[in-house]
Amino acid sequence: MSELLSIALFLASVVIYALKAGRNTWWFSATLLVLGFFILLNITLYASDYFTGDGINDAVLYTLTNSLTGAGVGKYVLPGAGLILALVAVFCALGWVLRRRRHLPHHLGYSLLALALALGSVDASPAFRQITELVKSQSRDGDPDFGVYYKVPAKQIPNPHLNLVYIYGESLERTYFNNDAFPDLTPELGALKNESIDFSHTEQLPGTDYTIAGMVSSQCGIPLFAPFEGNASASVSSFFPQNLCLGDILKNSGYENHFIQGANLRFAGKDVFLKSHGFDHLIGAEELKTQVADPHYRNDWGFYDDTVLDTVWKQYEALSRSGKRFSLFALTVDTHHPDGFISRGCERKSYSYDGKANQSFSAVTCSQQNIAKLINKIKASPWFKDTVIVVSSDHLAMNNTAWKYLNKQDRSNLFFVLRGDEPQQDVSGIKRSTMDNGATVLDILGGDNFLGLGRSSISGQSLSGVFLNMKEKVLAWKPDIIRLWNFPKEMKAFSIDQDKQMIAFSGSQFRLPLLVRVSDRVEPLPESEYSAPLRFQLADFAPRDNFVWIDQCYKMARLWSPTLALSTDWCVSQGQLGGEQQVQRVDKPQWKGKTAFKQTVISTDRYQKNVDTLKILDDSIRYKADSFVFNVAGAPEEVKQFSGISRPESWGRWSNAQLGEEVAIEYNQPLPQHFDLVITAKAFGPNANRPIPVRVGNEEQTLTLGNDLSTTTLRFNNASHSNKLVIVPPDPQSTNEGNILGHSPRKLGIGLVEIKVVNREG
């Protein structure tokens, strides 16, 4: 009903403004902006619903505010481009319609009515209501009985004697195993399920409906609800730091915890979660590409399931032979929406439904073969008698090409257990949720039968069976669950760990570098591959906003501490952009500081000067120095411009043929008639021990570098009074060496640390 009302208000606004309002630039712009926002909201709702089936929910907000590194977007490029083009076309058409009768005199009443109707259409839209509800849900008081049902188990298992293999099947819900609905779709894994303790009624709750959320719910016994203030979940270095999760208990009990997947570990913060809760050994796409036989055999998300599960078997075999107590978690990817991927190692690569091949079903039948193959290897090994194997879906399948067929069935998540010590065959129809998975595993391994909001399905009663509507209960507990992040409310004293590159305050830890806005609330702003550099984020602060900025000294020193302008040490700056600022160098491995914001007179001129300086692009920065220092941004004041050089790194900068085939440095004035060029540099790969031309005007010298740093002096006579220095790497190599995750490969030639021009008498 609200959707129809919002559309009716939208159309009424368009008609009234187009036919009655007349010509006025301000009213036209305001109305177009609000109506355009209405269109954008509804497109966002449509796109979100396509993935979640539940509109704009916590899954959407969490994913967009966390790391998207490694996201498999290949299959969405064309639809996304089409959606953007459609949005631009609709927006242009809307503007054209609104200006149809612009020759008429402006009518204030109709303009006001049209704008009011446009605002009403936004307010009535389901998208706006969903976003508003999400924002409100972050700040409610919560449900007073949360503490009654949230239970913390013992930190250790008394006498652990079983190893654990836990396999998450991406979107591999139990519904696929309905042989009446989908004949012979899962024969191999289905046969193993029939030999197991099989739980047939595992429901999906809010906050457990995407991969990282499914992992959190199954290992910590809580849904994943995160604070979204200041992109907090992306900047915080620990994940639910107050919670005791399955990985923590296993580690405390002497287990060595391993996690293996084919996708990038950074995506959605899986690496942060796992490292925060007992996992010291992680393998993802970046790690696998140096270990597998064919690093080019991969799909949009990462490596195929056959590659990943072969790696899991090798790890299982090695750990078992070592005699270590271990847990080995794995996550597949081939069944990821929208239609999955087919491993080349599968015997059956296609599955037809309704008389035609269906890619999602084909991916399922292929992936379950790979999982079954791994399990059968483990079962046939001499170590199975000491092993518990768990197979579960991470969440129900999202909108894929099999979705409409799945929705005709009673859908539930997959969870079954194969015990090597006590083989048991049973089908349990008790009502439960994925939050119970961890408690069930803990119980089987000899620990407690509860974990957070989870209860063992072997010896306890799931809260899904206690409450008539567990979904509503979980949403009522949402504020309580968010508070478990222990997100700081104030920032007074803080400490910096240089070795770990972390800052800690108010019980929370954050990765460096970090910018923090400190007002009536604390707003941490991280720097990542998807966010703007911190100085650009600081430039958006208001003149009176208190800030604490922890970064490399040179990034802030050129504004407020020139003596540190070439230092790559860590520094702490605090103050207000329109007031006073102070810069302190972090001079100890464990450094402690306090916030000290002075209430000073705010200067508009000082504020504008600071903002303008912060917004200067890296290559346009200039510093006072007698040499070109490459491990800081910018160049000496004597340099007019430069090209062919990549970003600064801790040691210096690489030449990058993607930015220019040669390194060219142009000075403001002609170089001396006679000078020595002192170059500290190294070569990349096959550029080592190759002649590297170095030119100044008409004169050319040859530089030879090894793979290690060295300093070479070249003598030049600049008879042509040239102001340009050119270095030509002989064989630039395309590589991701030292690259930022998610960025295109660079073509590296030589690594530059310092170039110094020394005037020499003829």
Helix or strand run (H / E) with residue 12: helix 2-16
pTM confidence score: 0.76
CA separation, residue 613 to residues 115, 560, 609, 621 (Å): 39, 11, 6, 9
Q: Is 404 exposed, middle or buried (0-12, 13-18, 19+ CB in 10 A)?
A: exposed
Q: Give the model's pLDDT for residue 316.
A: 98
Query: What pLDDT sits at residue 90?
Result: 65
pLDDT digits (tens, 9 = 90+) for 571-592: 999 999 999 889 999 999 999 9
Give, to the nearest 10 degrees, the angle between helix 211-220 and helix 437-444. 40
- The two tokens of residue 23 are 């010509």
Q: Which amino acid is at 174?
A: R
Domain closes at, from 616, 640, 656 = 616
Dist. CA 726–CA 514, nearest whole Å: 37
pLDDT at 38: 81
Q: How confident is the model over 75-121, as pLDDT tens digits?
A: 555 665 666 676 676 667 666 666 666 566 667 777 788 788 878 88
Q: The domain that contains 752 carries what CATH number? A: 2.60.120.430
Beta strands at 450-451 and 454-455: parallel, antiparallel or unpaired: antiparallel
Instruction: Decide if 15 is inside a domain.
Output: yes
Does 587 fall in a domain? yes
Q: Residue 258 carries which side chain, given as an amino acid letter?
A: H
- Does one domain contain both 183 and 214? yes
* Alpha helix ranges (H) inside 203-256: 211-220, 232-235, 246-252
| Other Cβ atoms within 10 Å of 91 Cβ, number | 15
Look over the chain and give the mean of its residue pLDDT values, rounded to a whole number.
Answer: 88
In a domain, 510, yes or no: yes
Q: Give the residue-averaged pLDDT of 153-158.
A: 96
According to the model, what pLDDT value does residue 31 have? Answer: 77
Radius of gyration of the chain (CA): 30
Question: Among 679, 696, 700, 694, which Cα is nearest to 755's?
Answer: 679
Mean pLDDT of 348-358: 91
pLDDT tens-place string over residues 373-425: 999 999 999 999 999 999 999 999 988 889 899 999 999 999 999 999 989 99
Q: From 661, 658, 662, select the one nearest 695 (Cα to Cα).
A: 662
More confident residue, 334 or 139: 334
Angle, to 10 degrees, between the axis of helix 58-65 and the axis of helix 211-220? 100
State whether 194 and 279 are in the same domain: yes
Rounded distance between C-alpha atoms, residue 227 and residue 14, angstroms: 38
Percent above pLDDT 90 for the chain: 61
490 within 8 A of 517, measured Cβ to Cβ: no
Contacts of 201 (CB under 8 A, 6+ apart): 412, 428, 429, 430, 431, 432
- How many whole angstroms from its chain centre is CA 133? 24
Band the pLDDT of 231: cuts 50, 70, 90. very low
Listed range (306-315, 351-360, 503-512, 639-648) with the worst mean pLDDT: 503-512
Q: Is residue 177 part of a domain?
A: yes
The domain total for the chain is 4
Do residues 603 and 635 share a domain?
no
Lowest mean pLDDT among 70-79, 146-155, 655-664: 70-79
Tokens 């036989």 -> residue: 293
DSSP assigned state of 130: H
Cis peptide before 338 (omega within 30 of 0): yes
% of the chain exceeding 70 in pLDDT? 90
Q: Residue 83 has what pLDDT? A: 63
Report how far apart, in Å, the C-alpha atoms of 591 and of each of 509, 511, 572, 584 are: 14, 15, 10, 11
When pLDDT is cut at 50, 70 and 90, the band that residue 234 belongs to is: very low
Domain annotation covers residue 233:
yes
Please give the average per-residue pLDDT across 283-293, as a whole number: 88
Residues 741, 638 share a domain: yes
Local structure of 321: helix, strand or coil: helix
Amino acid at 231: N
- Judgement on whether residues 432 and 393 belong to the same structural domain of the protein: yes
Residues 340 and 386 in one domain: yes
Nearest Cα to Cα of residue 518 among 495, 489, 496, 540: 489
DSSP state of 40: H
- Lookup: tokens for 131: 């976003």
Instruction: Give the containing element (helix H, strand E) for 518.
Output: strand 514-518
User: How far is residue 465's CA from residue 431's CA, in Å, rounded to a whole number?
Assistant: 6
CATH of the domain at 391: 3.40.720.10
| 357: exposed, middle or buried (Cβ count in 10 Å: 0-12, 13-18, 19+) | exposed
Q: Tell me, yes or no, whether 637 and 597 share the same domain.
A: no
Residue 753, in any domain of the structure: yes
Residues 405 and 516 in one domain: no
pLDDT of residue 68: 53
Domain shared by 249 and 374, yes or no: yes
355: which strand partners? none
Side-chain-facing half-sphere of 227: CA atoms under 13 Å: 24
> Is residue 529 pLDDT above 70, yes or no?
no
d(CA 286, CA 531): 21
Q: Give me the torsion for CA of 555, 560, 566, 568, rounded to 10°.
A: -50
Using CB atoms within 10 Å of the CB of residue 158, give its burial: 0 to 12 exposed, 13 to 18 middle, 19+ buried: exposed
Q: Is residue 102 assigned to a domain?
A: yes
- Strands (DSSP E) contained in 705-761 are 710-717, 724-727, 733-735, 746-759
Domain boundary among 427, 453, 479: 453
Q: Report the distance separating Cα 212 and Cα 223, nearest Å.
A: 10
Distance, in Å, from the CA atom of 52 to the CA atom of 8, rounded to the nearest integer, reads 26
**Using one digit for the tens of pLDDT, what is the confidence trace for 484-504?**
887 788 899 999 999 988 898
Alpha-helical runs (H) found in 245-332: 246-252, 270-276, 285-288, 305-322
Whether residue 313 sits in one domain with residue 172:
yes
Token code pair at residue 175: 């519904």
Highest mean pLDDT among 61-65, 330-334, 504-508, 559-563: 330-334
Place of tokens 């064309």: 78
Q: CB–CB of 289/739 below 8 Å?
A: no
Domain containing 30 equals: 2-137
Give yes or no: residues 653 and 736 share one domain: yes
Contact 16, 114 (CB under 8 A): yes
Is-cis flag, bond preceding 423, omega within 30? Answer: no
Reduce the DSSP state of residue 80 to 3 states and report it.
Answer: helix
Other Cβ atoms less than 10 A from the Cβ of 105: the count is 8
Domain co-membership, 415 together with 516: no
What's the Cα-to-Cα distance from 54 to each of 90, 217, 424, 565, rounded to whole Å?
A: 25, 19, 38, 51
CA distances from 320 to 81, 162, 372 (A): 49, 11, 19
What is the biggest distance separating any 2 CA atoms in the chain, rounded to whole angstroms? 93
In a domain? residue 684: yes
How distant, in Å, are the alpha carbons of 673, 696, 756 from that of 720?
8, 9, 20
Q: If pLDDT is split at 50, 70 and 90, which confidence band does 59 have? A: low
